[in-house]
Amino acid sequence: SINLKKVNNRLLHIKEDTINLFMNNKRERIVNKIINLTKQWKIINNKYDICITNPPYMGNVGMNDIIKRYIEEQYKDTKSDLSTVFMERCFRYTTFDGFLAMVNMHSWMFLFTYEKFRNRILEKYTIDTLVHLGMEAFDNIIGKVVQTVAFVFRKKNIANYKTTNIRLVDFYDSRRHDKEKNYYNERYRYISKQSDFNEIPGHPIAYWVSKKFVDNFKVGISIESISEFTGSQNITANNEKYLRFLWEVGADSIGEGKNWVLYSKGGDYRKHYGNLEYIVNWSDNARKFYKNNKTSNLLGEKYWYKEGITYTMLSTKNTSFRYLPTGCIFDKGGPSINYIKNINYILALLNSCVVKKYLDVLNPTINIQAKDIKNIPIIIDKNYKFKVESIEKECLDISKYDWDSSETSLEFKTHPIIEFKSNNLENSFNDWMYFMENQFNQLKDNEEELNRIFIDIYDLQDELTPEVEDKDITIRKADRDREMKSFISYTVGCMMGRYSLDEEGLVYAGGEFDINKYKTFKVDEDAIIPITDNEYFKDDIVSKFVEFVKIVFGSETLEENLNYIADTECFKRKTNETSRECLRRYFLKGFMEDHLKVYQKRPIYWMFDSGKQNGFKALIYMHRYDENMVAKIRTDYLHRIQRTYESEIIRLEKDINSEVISTKEKTKAKKEKEKISKQIDECKTYDQVIAHVANQRISIDLDDGVKVNYNKFQGIEVLIGNGKKNLKANLLFKAQI
């Protein structure tokens, strides 16, 4: 503290000291500074009947060392954010029985970090009024992270005081402007006694809950009593180095006891099953790093490869829970509950509207913590147990089937069009569409039935309804655009040898290649498939695609099947364009963009691409690449297309000079010659680049992942010499990998 009397005496002494000539220049400046400082000190130490402020928001990560040290010493219960520090500071400004009003983040109401602070509020102060605004409360703050609450506190505990609360948290996105409209709506007004908050674990400011909701905490058990759930998790501290998508590495290196293991990392909102698309480096050296590095963590060995229930820790939507199969490791973004009894019953409960309501109370932020899951009251009703488990088993099977029907799943077996093959492609798609419509409706019925059961078990009929919106069903319905594109992708996989019509699942993704596994539809021998604007090669990609469709559905329906694909809206078939021309245009200009989206910018099919003129393009399969492949592409494909172009130029010149053909045909020939001339020039430039790379005989290591390997072929610089500017170009399709 400061002795203000001594400061004023010293100030007076400085003013009256006229003997010291050396002080004359500094006296006025010093006096003014001290006067301002004493005024500031008085303001800071004053008490006010009413304190109103809009505090700054800053997490402790953004604080400098001086601020961090100070608030850790002075504001231990609120130190996680400056906004809550200001709450505590403003209480000190406020006189006894005075009022504090503020708009702030709502995290103090729920997070474990602020539990001691909440206890102090409930014990010493009174919440007078509270308006819970939630997301997007201000026009200039659009997003899900900043969630706010406006409140008035009284610095005095008034027993049995009834607080008025207004809940507007559900108005966001397109409805965010309705917050103001509904401020006076009685439907969103709640009266609460703050002493009731002490009955809920962690004492959240849950002003909107009923007595029955609170009573269930006394009846239910903790998840810890029927499982192993300690919050243990794996942290690599370097995901760029140690994480891959499962399709990047060799399939034979994935699994227990191998270098790569399936990794649960949270992911999008998805219930029952799924989001298994990552793998983690689990070699001895990698595990040693996780264990010994200061910022990483090695998952406890007792949790390795164990089945359980995993969930997405950070989610802007509702929290979703999924079955975690054996053979997996889990990350901090996808924590897991292991060694769990009654696993299907608990999975069904956790995905129900009942648990959603409890989590909305225990922690309505976007970051669900292990403590919140542990505080959910688990009620296992023996009368419903068998029925719940049977329904959840069906939900799990439906969701797993949906997940595995995508070729990015490790357990993908075949494309749905092949699985539901009928007499033609249209009927095959329709059969798949009807099947998935039934699956979708069945899953929705199941989830609503589970909601009904748990609403009855928890006696929350007056607060919850069992209905589930279509948007919250997390399996897909059939979509013609998506399915036709994925059918093309699957066909390319069969061309390359990744899949086969003779075997289910992944046939080749590294290891020893066996060409005898592809009898019904022949695999491309060198895994190099040219894509050109005309059919210049025997193994032209459009020709191979047409052959695949013919083999699957027969020659009688070939044309109608090709037309069905080309007439799909996403391909934007042009007037008078044949189905083959439409497919060729897609392979030239659309296929790689879609492939990058599906494979999340980690493509397994790479396109050698000479540039905008489409002079030369060829697809390869990353897993069949070898160090001789670039040279083979150059000599067997690029040079051949150049010779073909040169022959075409000669033919076109004959047409142009001919006296037989019409003026219209000559004009067309001139345009074609101009186009091919540009393609020749592009190929010649590209040849310099590809020659440079071919001579290097670049090798790749699948364990390095797509990003490292793909970029070995990009940004190639060729020394030209003779004072000319060096040539720099990409060998592959330009993409942000």
- What is the structure's pLDDT at 695? 94
d(CA 194, CA 204): 10
- What is the structure's pLDDT at 600? 97
- What is the structure's pLDDT at 232? 79
Q: Convert the pLDDT of each residue in 335-358 to its tens digit.
A: 999 999 999 999 999 999 999 999
Report how far apart, in Å, the C-alpha atoms of 99 and of each of 102, 151, 207, 293 are.
Answer: 10, 10, 20, 49
How do beta strands 162-167 and 126-135 pair?
A: parallel
d(CA 185, CA 443): 35
d(CA 71, CA 55): 15
Q: Is there a contact between 723 and 588 (Cβ–Cβ < 8 Å)?
A: no
- What is the structure's pLDDT at 319? 87
Cross-sheet strand order for the sheet of 617-621: 528-530, 617-621, 605-609
- What is the structure's pLDDT at 15? 64
- What is the structure's pLDDT at 17? 63
Which burial class, exposed, middle or buried, applies to 25 when counting CB atoms under 10 A from its CB (0-12, 13-18, 19+)? Answer: exposed
- What is the structure's pLDDT at 726? 86
| Residue ranges in the chain whose pLDDT is less than 50 | none
* Coil vs helix vs strand at 651: helix
| 3-state SS, one letter per residue, for 579-642 | HHHHHHHHHHHCHHHHHHHHCCCCCCEEEEECCCCCCCEEEEEHHHCCCCHHHHHHHHHHHHHH
**Count of Cβ atoms closer than 10 Å to residue 170 Cβ:** 12
**Nearest in space to 506 (alpha carbons), one of 417, 623, 617:** 623
Residues in contact with 722: Cβ distance below 8 Å, sequence separation at least 6, in sequence order: none
Residues in contact with 78: Cβ distance below 8 Å, sequence separation at least 6, in sequence order: 71, 84, 85, 87, 88, 108, 114, 117
| 3-state SS, one letter per residue, for 267-294 | CCCCCECCCCCEEEECCHHHHHHHHHCC
- Please state the pTM of the whole predicted model: 0.84
Q: Convert the pLDDT of each residue in 257-277 to its tens digit.
A: 999 999 999 999 999 999 999
- What is the structure's pLDDT at 361? 87
Instruction: Provide the residue count of the chain.
Output: 737
